[in-house]
Amino acid sequence: MTKLGAARARRRTLRLRALRLHPAQAVVVGFAAAILVGTFLLMLPIAKAGPGGAGFIEALFTATSAVCVTGLTVVDTLVYWTPFGQVVIMLLIQLGGLGIMIFASLIGLVLARKLSVRSRLNAAAEAKAVGLDDVRGLVRGIVLISLAIEAGTFVLLFLRFVFGYGYDVGQAAWYGAFHAVSAFNNAGFALYSDNLMGFVSDPWICLPIAAAIILGGLGFPVIMQLRKEFTKPLHWSMNTKLVLWGTVVLLVAGTVYITVIEWNNPATLGALDPAARVLTGFFHSVQTRTAGFNALDIGVMRDETWLGMDVLMFIGGGPAGTAGGIKVTTFAVLYFIMLTELRGEGAVNIFGKRLSRAVHRQAITVVLLAVAAVMVATVALMLISGEDLDRMLFEAISAFGTVGLSTGVTPGLPDPAKLVLVLLMFIGRLGPLTLGSAIALRERPLLYEYPKERPAIG
């Protein structure tokens, strides 16, 4: 090969490397592509009931909400979309819940029966895997776990719809499948105009859906470890222990908080018998973990309830799963950092293990970026819509946390405000740190260190 040919080959190799996406960038691009495809499909005339196709904003908002497994809607899912449109929404929910890179890896396994190094990197990045060992098993495990939990939820809902409400087999199967997928993926889409308010006191509907939401919100790493080592808690990782303890504490605290404050509210729990009040309080505590179904009218709840739900939605569920928010682990890490500082200890120790200092920086970064995103979006929503702080903060946190609960104002917001929520849902699903890493053009490791100095704190 001549020198000129070798130089051209090197330039071609460099161009190909420049076009190759970092795993974090691949995840962002994959979700964006899925949203665009979903928007196109929902704009087809066959997807919308009545003449013509859906408008761009309606299709974009719904596709983003489905892929980001949020559940916020600007149109009535039952009335506005045809069965074709509803199937598209369900598939987008499943795709977004599994993860774009996980789904792409699954296709690669089915077609080629192997994964390239690049595919393994992308799948591992999305699943928050520590290494590249057995990524193929990881992908298969995630898919099988998802389908198994959805199937179990489907069976329970199907039987209840048939024997409890007289649905025919076809209708019960469709409603059972849609709500099972929506529940496990923490999406909150429902095929009823009032969401699940018609089942407010029915434990045979509320509890299976709540169970699927909780399992989906644990995150795939936790579920997979519990599947292998359920009877060996000493072998559980710090991540698994933090997620399980955090989930139990937040579910109990949320149930008590919502039930107590709304107990005598005649527009919500006050109209139910005591057993149904506790059931509904628990159900809505589960929903704040990023699911978004509602069995009560959120818009008539007390302001104090909204504020508590804001906190629960902001925290969210477990990492590397279908939940959103800053994640339970991030919140727990900050709690233990604070506890360590108050005790005057040097290292942060959790469950008998020392926490890596790199995790301190990551947790603080995630929280600060999340607070900034929510605050900027809330101000923008208030300026655009003219609505008050309570409602706009609730909608912003619900979008960022990919929850889907709403005080009822989202459908009436101006289009620019809806686009703000679209961006928030996208950021919330991917995580501020992942999105920030994807936007960064290159890593710049420093080859030197500056001298240390301590500013005054507090």
User: Residue-wise pLDDT tens for the chain (458 aa)?
Assistant: 465 555 555 555 545 444 466 666 777 788 899 999 999 999 999 999 988 899 999 999 999 999 998 999 999 999 999 999 999 999 999 988 887 556 555 555 444 555 555 555 555 555 555 454 556 667 777 888 889 999 999 999 999 999 999 999 999 999 999 999 999 999 999 999 999 999 999 999 999 999 999 998 898 888 888 888 888 888 888 989 999 999 999 999 999 999 999 999 999 999 999 999 999 999 999 999 888 899 999 999 999 999 999 999 999 988 877 888 999 999 999 999 999 999 988 889 998 889 888 888 888 888 999 999 999 999 999 999 999 999 999 999 999 999 999 999 999 999 999 999 999 999 988 877 666 556 554 556 667 778 878 788 77
CB-based contact 185:94 (threshold 8 Å): yes
Amino acid in the structure at residue 173: A
CB-based contact 96:185 (threshold 8 Å): yes
Give the number of other CB atoms < 10 A from CB of residue 290.
35
CB-based contact 36:431 (threshold 8 Å): no
HEC string for 205-267: HHHHHHHHHHHHHHCHHHHHHHHHHCCCHHHCCHHHHHHHHHHHHHHHHHHHHHHHHHCCCCC
CB-based contact 100:38 (threshold 8 Å): no
CB-based contact 70:399 (threshold 8 Å): yes
Q: Which residues 6+ apart lie within 8 Å of 104 measured at CB?
A: 30, 119, 122, 123
Amino acid in the structure at residue 315: I
The helix-helix angle for 117-126 and 23-42 (nearest 10°) equals 80
Q: Tokens standing for 61? A: 């908002």
- The domain spans of the chain are 21-439
Confidence (pTM): 0.88
DSSP conformation class of 195 = T
81: β partners = 48
